[in-house]
Structure 1
Amino acid sequence: MKKTMLLIVSLIICTYGFASKEKYDFDVKHIPDSLKKDANAVIRIYNISYNYKTPVTATEKKSIAVTVLNTNGVDYANFLESGDKFRKLTKVTGKIYDSKGTVLKTYSKGDIKKSAYSQHLTTDNFSYYLQVYPPSFPFTVHFECEFEWKDGIILFPPFAPQPDYQIAVMEADYSLQYPENTTILTKTYNQVQELPAENFKGNVIRKWNVRNLKAIKEERFAPAINTLIPIVYTAPASFVYEKTQGKLLDAEHICKWQQELNTGRDELSPETKNAISELVKDASTDREKVKILYDYLGSITRYESIQLGIGGFQPIPAAEVCRTGFGDCKGLSNLLKAMLNYVNIPANYVIIRMSSQEKDLDDDFSAFIRTNHIVLRVPLPGDTLWLECTNTRVPFGFVHNGIAGHNALVTTENGGYMTRLPDYPDSLNLEHNQMDIKLNTDGSAHVQVEKNWHVKIYDNVYQLLTAKPTEVTDYLRKEISLPHATVSQVNLDDNKSALPSLKARYEWTTTLFGSKTTNRLLIPVNAMRYTISKLKKGQRNYDIYIKTGWKDTDLITIEIPEGYEIEALPAPVKHTCAFGNFESTVINLGNKLLINQSVMVHSGQYDVSLYADFVQFIDKITEIYQGKITLKKTTST
């Protein structure tokens, strides 16, 4: 009897012990120092298990634990998952741990909030989220959740465990299960290991993992983060989605499915047709007709994101966009295509990635994953137009920065193909300053400026045309490297040609143009150029990537005040290297100085071994911009 009681007590103790013991030990001491280096957070666990049951159903399980080391990593502690009519959150649990791995707080599905994904008018997309407030640093959060997929599956969840710079990863695993005789498309990038496939009860199980990924330290002029981190893309070769079927094998198949989605959605109302006929009746060329209809599109519509049903891929019918007066990139591009078709001008619906850094797409299913925008291609004799239909303030015929030089998928009646949009020579991306400076004996100055931004530089600043006057003045003031400068008399002139430019004429004054002593004025060679921030010297990890080349030129005259003479001028400088060139001259014209400076930086990707040369190039540019002129009094006052 005593033995029986002892056994029962032992079982109770063991049961209680196992019930209360945490499955994971999240003590921070288990993180290797090599993973803490340069890291704001460390991904302790990143597991995705995806079971593709049928072409229209699947289940997804995720387990993600993150240790946040400092305030810069706090955002990675929050729970944030996307949802729509195809993907529904069914289970979620979460816990917060202190630095020793002790549980501080638990969360359940009832704590998760659900909100619209964006403020746009028509969307089925939303987000599941929970904001975590840090108790102290370091701390760990662990969320486990499950999703139900239904009504169609085009793509499987991507495996991208290292989301950004300064984030390390201890271990990450991806498991994909699917029925035998199902063809799956896969693509991996950067240090991802695939394990041998397994077969289990009529299913294939494939697994990928990564271990001990050190934090990527952010470097200036580095390639896009997506080219540096491990990623696995997977998808079914044939899919069913919202009662449509298709394949994502390559550009031709992607475009074929897109064309099927677009079929029958280009009808226009009689009223719209009559309006179009009236608008173009006096146009003498197709290009003129396209310009008229492009402007007309901007006058009758506005941009709104449409993400209803398969609206993420299928445009709203042209007649509906006309009726409501709004549409997204799909609907607006489709409407302009329909209007052009009505006047017998062919156009192509183009799928592209709009991005500040990523230009390239591969001609396979990954292109579908990475594209996010629609534009219109209009082939004319001797010229092809690429039109941004979501913003007709973009000058007609200009290929803006977000798409210039990018790969794109061009849909045709029978399918489609991949192409690359045109780009501009670096030399056209010009910013030119012309300044006339009247310098006074007390060191104050009055400056008249004519500033011109061209092509890609124009694209960076054309928003000034719709900004408030105070915002324009503030922008121009920030470009002056002297304190106490006041900008006035601003006038903007917009040249909306296919090679656009924006001209700003204005004045500015300062009570002290440089520095003043009893007998000398020390003035800047160029007060309109801030120095390029110095690059860190020493070892670099990644190639040098200059996405957009540019040219800066300055022509400056300085009127020397009466009673002063030139004591010292910077020597002429001229330098050329692989990254570009620069030149600076200061010429004495008696009572005036003429300063001519130019800097040219070439776009391109340069081997990391050239980094020391690049640092030297930037330092020399900084040196010429920081040049000083010394004026000396000739008479006493």
Structure 2
Amino acid sequence: MKRKLYTLLLLTFGLLAVQAEAQHKIDLVKGANAIVKLEETVFTVNSAGSGTTRIKTIITILNESGKEHARLQVAHDRLNKVDYIKGTSYDLAGKKIKSLKSSEIKDVSAGAGDNEILDTRVKYADMAHTVYPYTVEYEYQTTSSNMMFYPVWVPLASSKLSVEKATFQVLMPKGMKLRYRETNLQEKVKQSATATHDVYSWEVQNLTPLDTEPYGPFMAEVIPMVRTAPADFEVEGYRGSMESWQKYGHFINQLNAGRDVLPEATKQKLQALTADTKDPLAKIDKVYNYLQSNTRYVSIQLGLGGWQPLEAGFVASKGYGDCKALTNYTQAMLKEVGVPSFQALIRGGENEPAIMTDFPSSQFNHVVLCVPLQQDTLWLECTSQNESAGFSGSFTGSRKALLITPEGGKLVNTPSYTAADNTEHRTVKVKLDENGNGTANVISRYTGEEHETYRDLIHHYAAEEQRKWLYSNIKVPAFEVKKFAFDLKKGRQPEVTEKLELSLRQCATLSGKRMFLTPNLMNKWTTVPNTVEKRKWEVVRNSAYTNVDTVVYEMPVGYTLEFKPNDTEYKTAFGTYKATTKVDGQQVTYIRSLQMNKGRFSPDTYAKMIEFMNNMLKADAQQVVFVKNIP
């Protein structure tokens, strides 16, 4: 009896295991364009200055949308070599389609623009097939002599991808320390050892495609990931440590040492330029203007030059440099006129994820200059010929930067831009005729981050291109641009004033004896994200701004008000909206203000944000109705 019961239990557990495995396979396919059957990543540190990475991937391409995963790209440069690349493809039955030939591996420059000088290249292979599904297997190995960077393991690297199994191993020589940071893992690290190395191992299984959510956090916050970094490292004879931000700053000081020497001719120009100037802020303005007038940005990434600036003398003689070189040059010039400053490493870019402050490592892609003043601190973007001194904006504002001081690295905050800083104030005067057509005179003033698009429009586009841009971006149903003009006022809070003269067609619509007018002419809320049942992640808003529109209409003679919408106001954690409409004889005055806040909100507030946006959408579409007087 016991043996029969035991056999029955075995059969039951076996059936459950088979069912679970079948369900896993169904889940992996659902919503996926490709499945990683197996990925093995092995990073072996040979010394503080050398390491190898071997990656083997077996991935099944399910459909046309997944064929990007049949391609392989491996970057290499003077400090990172590709040892080998192998590839094989198989059909649905497991029969080999082809093996990758050396002649099929392309080697192309990674440069994409005329203002780039770099030694980074990409080995590129493509084993796409035309009959789905099919499987591609790649294996390759690289050797690096730049040990500033250890691998970041991201097994679920894109949406519409699932992972059956992926492993990551790091082999550290005995006595060398590995620093790592784990996020969103099924299991934590497992440690073992060989005679020569300490071994750190991670594994994930059965990862289904990531379901993205509107206004969700950055992907890096929600996917499984292991970041690794050295404690001590070496690159081209320079030794450093990343055990703290301070120590990492000492390494950057090594790279910068002695590279701030200016030519005598440049020194004389700077002394003459500031001879009558005592105020440090005025000196900064003159030096910054000199920089913008005499240099241009060129990305130069050659070997260690990706992190070490070119000498100040090179920039002075050639008139160009990358962010490191131009920042170093500006620092040297300010030093010459008696103004101290500090370089700062930063992760530049609009809507970039924040750096991990608790994990000192090379997380930066840009360098700016920080100038402490007695009452304040001035930040300079040294790569732009057009930016205002002291304005960080969406590219480098509102984030952490690593200040490089003589005492080492120190994390600091760059200027933060709030809804009160990023504004659009617009005044519109419209005169309508009896057919609902009209003319509009528009004056809009943009400040802070709101001015950036218009600043770039002024500097990078000719008049005719500006006109085309206006036709594409003015949010009026039918119009003609009769005149336009832009005026840029630089400053720590720069602004652009835009003046437009528009001819409007059917600004108001006629139906019988009635005229229907939508008073919100140019700034309607138009989009509302989809509803998400059982939202998983926080609601994240990365921008803050204030819009105020005042629109005054002169209605044609002979019409009397029949209906006016009630004044509207909505106050939420996400923002505040208010709209008022007043009618005085033939004059309609519409005032709309919207302040949107940035921040992180709990998942259960998402429905309230949708409600807020729907309310704005409806309010912006409300109409004033006039009826024609009939004698």
- TM-score, L = length of structure 2: 0.92
Structure 1 residues not aligned, in runs of 5+? 1-28
Matches within 5 A, 1:324-473: 324-358=318-352, 360-364=354-358, 366-466=359-459, 467-473=461-467
Structure 2 residues not aligned, in runs of 5+? 1-21
**Offset at residue 322 of structure 1 (A):** 1.2
Question: 2:571 is matched with which residue?
Answer: 576
Distance 1:37 1:631 in 2: 55
**Offset at residue 545 of structure 1 (A):** 0.6
**Offset at residue 98 of structure 1 (A):** 4.2
Distance 2:90 2:501 in 1: 59
Question: 1:511 is matched with which residue?
Answer: 505
**SS across alignment from 2:154:** coil
Distance 2:35 2:508 in 1: 48
1:32 to 12, 18, 25: 25
Distance 2:129 2:206 in 1: 25
Question: 1:602 is matched with which residue?
Answer: 597
Question: 1:4 is matched with which residue?
Answer: none
Question: 1:54 is matched with which residue?
Answer: 47
Question: 1:237 is matched with which residue?
Answer: 231
Q: Deviation string for 1:412-440 (max 9, x for gaps)?
A: 11212111112022222111221111111
With over 3 angstroms needed to count, the CA separation of the structure-2 counterparts of 1:37 and 1:283, relative to structure 1, is: farther
With over 3 angstroms needed to count, the CA separation of the structure-2 counterparts of 1:543 and 1:101, relative to structure 1, is: farther
Amino acid at match of 2:503: T
Indicate conservation of the 8 Å contact 2:543/2:598, yes or no: yes
**Offset at residue 514 of structure 1 (A):** 4.2
Distance 1:508 1:43 in 2: 55
Question: 1:631 is matched with which residue?
Answer: 626
Distance 1:424 1:185 in 2: 34
Distance 1:446 1:69 in 2: 56
With over 3 angstroms needed to count, the CA separation of the structure-2 counterparts of 1:55 and 1:610, relative to structure 1, is: same
Residue 179 of structure 1 pairs with residue 169 of structure 2 = no
Q: Relative to structure 2, which stretch is displaced further, 65-74 or 465-474?
A: 65-74
Q: Deviation string for 1:564-597 (max 9, x for gaps)?
A: 2222221110111211211111101110100011
Distance 1:56 1:603 in 2: 43
**Offset at residue 359 of structure 1 (A):** 5.3
**SS across alignment from 2:536:** coil
Amino acid at match of 2:55: K
Indicate conservation of the 8 Å contact 1:68/1:76, yes or no: yes
**Offset at residue 372 of structure 1 (A):** 0.9
Amino acid at match of 1:244: Y
Amino acid at match of 2:304: I
1:107 to 97, 100, 108: 100
Amino acid at match of 1:498: R
Question: 1:197 is matched with which residue?
Answer: 191
**Offset at residue 131 of structure 1 (A):** 4.0
**Offset at residue 333 of structure 1 (A):** 0.2
Residue 168 of structure 1 pairs with residue 162 of structure 2 = yes
With over 3 angstroms needed to count, the CA separation of the structure-2 counterparts of 1:214 and 1:268, relative to structure 1, is: same
Residue 122 of structure 1 pairs with residue 106 of structure 2 = no
With over 3 angstroms needed to count, the CA separation of the structure-2 counterparts of 1:56 and 1:457, relative to structure 1, is: same
1:615 to 587, 600, 610: 610
Matches within 5 A, 1:195-274: 195-274=189-268
Distance 2:37 2:425 in 1: 51
Amino acid at match of 1:559: E
**Offset at residue 56 of structure 1 (A):** 2.8
**SS across alignment from 1:457:** helix
- TM-score, L = length of structure 1: 0.91
Indicate conservation of the 8 Å contact 1:388/1:394, yes or no: yes
**Offset at residue 62 of structure 1 (A):** 0.7
Amino acid at match of 2:169: S
Amino acid at match of 2:187: Q
Distance 2:116 2:350 in 1: 26
**Offset at residue 152 of structure 1 (A):** 4.2
**SS across alignment from 2:395:** coil
Question: 2:537 is matched with which residue?
Answer: 542
**SS across alignment from 2:98:** strand
Identity, % of aligned positions = 26
Indicate conservation of the 8 Å contact 2:155/2:224, yes or no: yes
Alignment coverage as a number of residue pairs: 606
Question: 1:307 is matched with which residue?
Answer: 301
RMSD: 2.0
With over 3 angstroms needed to count, the CA separation of the structure-2 counterparts of 1:136 and 1:283, relative to structure 1, is: farther
**Offset at residue 154 of structure 1 (A):** 2.0
**SS across alignment from 1:194:** coil
Indicate conservation of the 8 Å contact 2:574/2:597, yes or no: yes
Distance 2:473 2:161 in 1: 34
**Offset at residue 622 of structure 1 (A):** 1.0
Distance 1:62 1:323 in 2: 45
With over 3 angstroms needed to count, the CA separation of the structure-2 counterparts of 1:623 and 1:72, relative to structure 1, is: farther
**SS across alignment from 1:80:** strand
